[in-house]
Amino acid sequence: PGKKVLIVYAHQEPKSFNGSLLTIAVEELTKQGCSVTVSDLYAMQFEPRATRNDVVGGLHNPEMFNYGVETWEAYKRGCLSKDLVEEQKKVQEADLLIFQFPLYWFNMPAILKGWMDRVLVQGFAYDLSKSYDFGLLQDKLSLFSFTTGGGQEMYSKEGVGGDIRYLLWPMQHGIMHFCGLKVLEPHICYAPEAVSEEKRKEMLTAWTQRLKTLWKEEPIDCSPEWYFK
Amino acid sequence: PGKKVLIVYAHQEPKSFNGSLLTIAVEELTKQGCSVTVSDLYAMQFEPRATRNDVVGGLHNPEMFNYGVETWEAYKRGCLSKDLVEEQKKVQEADLLIFQFPLYWFNMPAILKGWMDRVLVQGFAYDLSKSYDFGLLQDKLSLFSFTTGGGQEMYSKEGVGGDIRYLLWPMQHGIMHFCGLKVLEPHICYAPEAVSEEKRKEMLTAWTQRLKTLWKEEPIDCSPEWYFK
């Protein structure tokens, strides 16, 4: 109650299973007394490309464009583009970030990767020697909630896709942990398109149930052992 | 000689280190008698977002937009958007795909992820039961060539970033291997921005040298052992 949640949502279709998962999260968390903000990336036509347009006004070094340096400098000068400043404000205020998306190619869709690339700027999310446990977004929680095309048996140690945790490493450790956020267990709905309507309903109920006790959860130990044990 | 190479390049600045690596690859491979095509994603303003615009004309199911289904159907009907058809033609003709990019957040930049999301459509790159060793892009090679911000010591089993191979899994196995391509050893230039001019020159020379004998290389064994042994 009183907690702030930012849901970064990457699906084109409100009537999709991802859309239902989003609706459930908004409703359940609101019911708990949380304040919920949604960044609906496709609806916002969020720009995924990291370009010179992310800096308002002159560049630090117009002779040779370096995206990381330019956005770092622009952050310090308050010259990042408006859409980035707005997303950073939402992140800053949030106690919990939920990322809701369909898995595309063992990873998040490009529009969501673009959110990571552009919003989590040096100086804002991390800095020189301020990364991992010392990242600038400490005391925040993160949670990846996603759907897959393949079934759960594919994503096992013996399955063709390998353990699902293998593909969580770059997202959870390489991004969230890097910025200092704590990582809650991912929420994975396997192959909703391939199962029965009844099974789909069970999955939606399971998400509601999990959200009810989410604030009591302990973060995972975001070390190689959790992923590759 | 006579081989066709597609380089998918994702850097904003031609004068960057990535730009130099691109130039070297084009020059060396051309010298060998290869035919080289470059998709310069930022220069093309390549669209990374997977949307309804990727289908020309009517949708298979306009009531509920499903990107995977719609692009699969559009591929079969020859109704994918022009930019995708062009990229697919380049892929189809290539014997080797090289991806040249700076590592962003343990992964490729969003603009390149968008290329994967949008170009490697079902029916074209894989299909029902045609994935991994049976993927539709068999007999092609792939190579990820990228630069990092952090040094090599960071990306070791004991380093904070973990073994660099951990983050190669989703890219090499989850995308390339999934589509049937064989995977050559990645080419990694660690922290070019942090080292001396001399060291940078050595890195460029090493890339030229590697390219000279590239066609004799054996692909890696793209199984969990290679990544997590």
Query: pLDDT digit string (tens) for B124-172?
Result: 999 999 999 999 999 999 999 999 999 999 999 999 999 999 999 999 9
Cβ <8 Å between A110 and B111? yes
CA nearest neighbour of A115 among A53, A172, A66, A47: A47
Q: Can you give the CATH number for the domain in which B156 is found? A: 3.40.50.360
Range of the domain at B151: 4-228
Pairing assessment for the beta strands B4-9 and A141-147 based on DSSP bridges: unpaired
According to DSSP, residue A184 is labeled P
Q: Count of domains in chain B?
A: 1
Tokens of B185: 């050893």
Contact B113 A105 (CB under 8 A): yes
Chain A hits for B107, CB-CB cut-off 8 Å, are 107, 113, 170, 174
A165-192 residue pLDDT tens: 999 999 999 999 999 999 999 999 999 9
**Alpha-carbon span B141 to B95, nearest angstrom:** 6
Q: CA A2, CA A158: separation in Å to the nearest integer?
A: 43
| pLDDT at res. B112 | 98
Distance CA B41, CA B72 (A): 23
pLDDT at B141: 98
> How many whole angstroms separate alpha carbon B147 and alpha carbon A24?
41
Comparing CB atoms, the residue among B12, B49, B224 nearest residue A67 is B12
Query: CB of A192 within 8 Å of any CB in chain B?
Result: no
Tell me whether A121 touches chain B (CB under 8 Å).
no
pLDDT band at A1 (very low <50, low <70, confident <90, very high): confident
Contact criterion met (CB < 8 Å) for A110 and B105: no
Q: Tokens 């959860």 belong to which residue?
A: A217
What is the number of alpha carbons within 13 Å of residue A45 lying toward its C-beta?
3
Integer-rounded Cα Rg, in Å, for chain B is 18
Spatial distance between the Cα atoms of A129 and A123, rounded to a whole number of angstroms: 11
Question: Which H/E stretch holds residue B39?
Answer: strand B35-40
Regarding an ipTM greater than 0.95, the answer is yes
In tens, the pLDDT along B35-88 reads 999 999 999 999 999 999 999 999 999 999 999 999 999 999 999 999 999 999
Asked if A36 and A60 touch (Cβ cutoff 8 Å), the reply is no
